Copies of this chain bind each other. A is one copy, B any other.
C-alpha cells in the first residue's frame, strides 16, 4: 500500500502523515484489553474485550447478507439497549457452524459473565453486581465454516479480564485495534472531540477491513465509543445517518460479509441533559464528529483494500433522487473494468458510461458530463473537445482519483469510495491454498 493519506483525508482527520495515528484519549467508563488465544497459531492477539463497568447505552447496525454469523444471531436475540461488555474474536467467523457455533458462543458468554462478576465482587468499590450473559455482546471475524473455537477462547478469558485497564493511551488503542484485524495491513483508529458546557466530549473508534479477503473472509467491523450520555434510540438514529455516507459508501469488491457490524457505545459519563433531539445543537455537534470518525475509518478501510494502489472517489451530482445517485455511483465503483482502468492509469470514460447505464437508472445521456479530477472528458452525450489529454494522463498517475458524474437531472448527490483492482488482489485471493 503506497497511497499517501494526505491526498484524500481532510485536514479534520488530524492525520499529518502516512502511518501516523491520531492521539486517542481514554474514555471515562471504558476499560479495554486484548490477548492471544493462539487462534492464528502465531501468538498474535486475537481477542479484544471492551468493558463498561457501569454499563453503556448501545446501538448497532449489522450485515444485510441473508446468511449471518451465529454471533450476530446471538446478539439479535436479546435486542439489548444497555450492555456491560463486548468481546471480539478474529480468525473464526462463527458462520455456517450450526449448533456447534451457537452453543460455542453461549459457552463463552457464560464463562465471560462469571469471570466479570468475580472481578466485580473483588473490586474496591464494594458494589458487587452479577453480570448476566444477556449483558454481553459479541463480534466474530474470520473463516466461514470452521468450528467455533470456544474452548480455546474460554481458556484465555480469565487473563483477558485481568488485563482490563481504563487508562487507554494511544499505544493501548493501537494494540486493541490490532487485535481485531484479520488480514488488514495496519490497525484503524479515529478520534474526535468537542467542547460542550466546558466539558470535553470524546468519540474514539476502531475498525477493521472490509475487503472480502483470503485466507479469511474479512468482515467490516467498527466499534465506536463516546462518553456523551446519549440514549440508545438516539444513538441508533445518529449511527444510521453517519454510516450511510461512510461505511455504507465504500466498496472494495462488491462482496459483502456475513459478519459486518458497526456499533456505538455510550458510557454516559458526560451528562448533556435529557430530551435532546436530532436538531439540538449539541446533538448536531456530536453528529458532525461522529460522521468525521466514521468517514475517516471508512477511508482507511478502502486504502487498506486488498492490493489497492489507488484510492477512487466516485461522485454523482445533480441526480433526480438520492437512490438514483447511489445506484449509479456504486454501479461505476463496483465495475471491475473501471477499477482495472484506474489501476492502469487509463482515463477510460467509456467504461464509466457503461457503468452508469448498467445501473439501469433512467438518465438522459445527452445531459451527462463526466470529469476525471478537474478534466471534463465527456459532456452533452459525447466526447469533450477541450480535454487536455496530456495533463489528464498526468492526473491519472495520482494516488487518489476522483470521477465526477454530473447527470444534470436534479439536485441529489452521493459520493462513494473504492480502490483500484490490481494484480495483488488476484494474488492475495487466489493463493489461499498456499497461505494457510
Chain A contacts to B: CB under 8 angstroms: 64-68, 93, 95-98, 100-101, 143-147, 212, 214, 217, 253-258, 334-337, 340-341, 343-346, 348-351, 353-363, 365-366, 378, 380-383, 393, 421-423, 425-427, 429-433
Contacts and interface: CB of A to CB of B under 8 A. Distances in A.
A333 to B, nearest CB: 12
A254 B336 contact: yes
B256 A350 contact: no
How many monomers of this protein are in the complex? Answer: 2
A330 to B, nearest CB: 12
Contacts of A421: 426
A346 B145 contact: no
Nearest to A366: B98
Nearest to A422: B426
A367 to B, nearest CB: 11
B98 A354 contact: no
A77 to B, nearest CB: 16
Contact of A64 (B255, B360, B393): B360
B146 A346 contact: no
B341 A432 contact: yes
Nearest to A361: B66
A411 B214 CA distance: 33
Contacts of A147: 383
B336 A253 contact: yes
A321 to B, nearest CB: 15
Closest 4 CB pairs of A and B: A344-B430, A144-B350, A67-B357, A340-B429
Nearest to A252: B336
A429 B422 CA distance: 10
Nearest to A355: B255
B354 A100 contact: no
Contacts of A253: 336-337
Contacts of A335: 212, 254-255
A351 B96 contact: no
A85 to B, nearest CB: 28
Contacts of A217: 337, 350-351, 354
Given A66-B359, A93-B350, A214-B344, 17 more contacts: A64-B360, A66-B360, A67-B363, A95-B350, A98-B381, A144-B350, A145-B383, A214-B337, A214-B348, A217-B337, A258-B354, A340-B425, A340-B426, A341-B429, A344-B429, A344-B430, A421-B426
Nearest to A97: B382
A346 B433 contact: yes
A329 B172 CA distance: 45
A67 B214 contact: no
A243 B359 CA distance: 21
Contact of A343 (B212, B340, B378, B426): B426
Contacts of A354: 65, 67, 144, 212, 217, 255-258
Nearest to A377: B145
A348 B238 CA distance: 37
A357 B258 contact: yes
Given A336-B336, A341-B429, A430-B340, A67 B362 contact: no
Contacts of A361: 66
20 contacts: A66-B362, A96-B378, A96-B381, A96-B382, A98-B382, A101-B382, A144-B354, A145-B349, A212-B337, A214-B337, A217-B337, A253-B336, A255-B335, A255-B358, A340-B429, A340-B430, A341-B430, A345-B433, A346-B433, A422-B426
